[in-house]
Chain A
Amino acid sequence: MKNSIAALVVGFIFALGLGLSGMTQPQKVIGFLDLFGSWDPSLMFVMIGSIGVHFFTYKLIRRRKTPLLSMDWHVPTKKEVTPALVFGSLIFGIGWGLAGVCPGPAITSLASFESAPLIFVASMLVGMFIFRQLDKIVKFNK
């Protein structure tokens, strides 16, 4: 229960951050990726801000034995760079460039009650479903 309330609060602050930073405006994201055209560097400051904070808080928080509301840490520990990691990220990048939207801003933008975010999120869920089915056959992470 406490974990869920915590996640709710995190999601709320995260969405505010996305909105204030410009990440929920697809044209800004496309402008940021338009390195060889009319490049808009402003979104670089989103990475500087977020990583700038979390780089230090991560180290501080991990000094604790356990998290405040959980018995254990659930941070990924995998180290190997696999073909699935690289190919998956490349595929994601193409979609990200095409619409200027990644998963967080897509969910946040559902609150606009317009059709574009809804179509995008529905397709994203289908894309996830397709991969899960394919993964059952090919077992990419084995």
Chain B
Amino acid sequence: MQQEWINALIGGSLIGISVSLMLLWNGRVTGISGIINGLFSMKKGDTSWRTLFVVGLFSGGLALKFIKPETLAGSWATEMKTLIIAGLLVGFGTVMGSGCTSGHGVCGISRLSPRSLTATVAFMAAGIVAVFVFKKLGVL
């Protein structure tokens, strides 16, 4: 238990450092859903950093696969329809709501943005209610 909290704190601090570097270097917010969605607007000069950011995430995943394989893909949902519905909701919702856990939850709250505070309360609350309901329905 204690160790999990420490790992979460260390991992969280790494996330905090990485989004700080993005701000210091590129002057940008590290919002994953926004970075991915922006890839599809195909604006000139705006796609390569987005692509390489995604490559960076993926390579970080590869590194984890070697140093801490237990952190990857162990506990994913197995039902195809669960994955598809959840993916659709996450994609649709994050673009409609202009952000996800990283852009709103980490970057936005850190600069006390009222929009991000609202969004974070909304998706946390929806997540909590969803888990409660899905458990009752036997989906989870």
By a beta-carbon cutoff of 8 Å, the part of chain A in contact with chain B is: 1-28, 30, 33-37, 42-55, 57-58, 61-62, 64, 66-70, 72-76, 78-81, 84-104, 106-112, 114, 116-117, 119-132, 135, 140-141
Contact = CB atoms under 8 A, between A and B. Distances in A.
A128 B54 CA distance: 16
Interface residues of B, number: 111
B50 A97 contact: no
Contacts of A23: 11
B123 A90 contact: yes
Given A85-B118, A86-B122, A14 B64 contact: no
B8 to A, nearest CB: 4
A33 B95 contact: no
Given A14-B30, A26-B75, A126-B88, A97 B93 contact: no
Contacts of B120: 89
Identify the interface centre among A44, A87, A124: most chain B CB within 10 Å of its CB: A124
B115 A81 contact: yes
B38 to A, nearest CB: 10
A54 B82 contact: no
Can you list the 8 inter-chain pairs with the closest CB atoms, starting with the nearest?
A11-B56, A15-B60, A49-B12, A127-B91, A21-B11, A93-B126, A88-B97, A123-B87
B56 A14 contact: yes
Nearest to B135: A37
Identify the interface centre among B14, B54, B85: most chain A CB within 10 Å of its CB: B14
Given A10-B30, A53-B20, A92-B93, 16 more contacts: A4-B52, A8-B56, A10-B22, A12-B60, A14-B57, A15-B59, A17-B17, A19-B60, A19-B61, A22-B4, A86-B118, A90-B123, A92-B94, A98-B89, A100-B77, A120-B76
Contact of B88 (A36, A42, A101, A130): A130
B53 A11 contact: yes
A43 B109 contact: no
Contacts of A16: 11, 14, 60, 63-64
Interface in B114-140: 114-115, 118-120, 122-132, 134-135, 139-140
A14 B90 contact: no
Nearest to A86: B122
A20 to B, nearest CB: 4
B68 interface: yes
30 contacts: A4-B48, A6-B25, A10-B25, A11-B59, A12-B63, A16-B64, A17-B15, A17-B16, A33-B127, A42-B1, A51-B16, A57-B24, A61-B24, A69-B25, A74-B27, A74-B29, A79-B115, A85-B115, A85-B118, A90-B123, A91-B92, A93-B93, A95-B87, A97-B131, A97-B134, A109-B61, A114-B76, A117-B76, A122-B87, A123-B86
